[in-house]
Structure 1
């Protein structure tokens, strides 16, 4: 089974980096550049995992997360939030959910890979 990962990121350089990296590892990647598309594409494709920037045009990643939680078809999808802000600053808006993680920019692809391996099984992915 190929893992399906949805990336929501408004910075084209980071979006391209993540898309290229995850595709090269054999994943099917869906990309969006704002929070509105995030909820729509998640419901449409039901990915195994979402990687979302916190601050994007249209809606914050955390706001889109709240929309995902209200939809039975998307509420169990794990999410990795990415942001340039510190975890301490974001702790107030990030959900306290065992299916969510946070990684700070600049991104470490190794750290991201560890989080992906940890969360993919929670999203129904079986290699």
Structure 2
């Protein structure tokens, strides 16, 4: 599991005085950076070197998140396949689970425009962060 602490900015809030639901995707993306480093250690977004593409994301909002209080983002690996892996994320504020979600990320060759198998050494690293079934 990886943890990141984010501090909601004033601009993250909306007219209902809570963090807008569109922000959670950005925060969960920050949580995936540690996993992205397994594929591109320097996170260089050079077209020839970037190796991942997003296939799907989904989020469940369980409670409101407010400005002025830090949020802890927890990132796990839920499943590792041949050429893709699924992440699982949680957002906590004041020790309460406020949002959770999953994403499917594909190991991808942008030059050939096709998915490619995840190398075994990276699969091993991903598997070190697996979360238990039943989430």
The structure with more radius of gyration: 2
- Which structure shows the higher helix fraction? 1
- Which structure shows the higher strand fraction? 2
Query: Aligning the two structures, in what range does the TM-score lie when normalised by the shorter sequence?
Result: under 0.3
Structure with more contact order per residue of length (Cα contacts < 8 Å, sep ≥ 6): 2
TM-score by length of 2: 0.21
TM-score by length of 1: 0.22
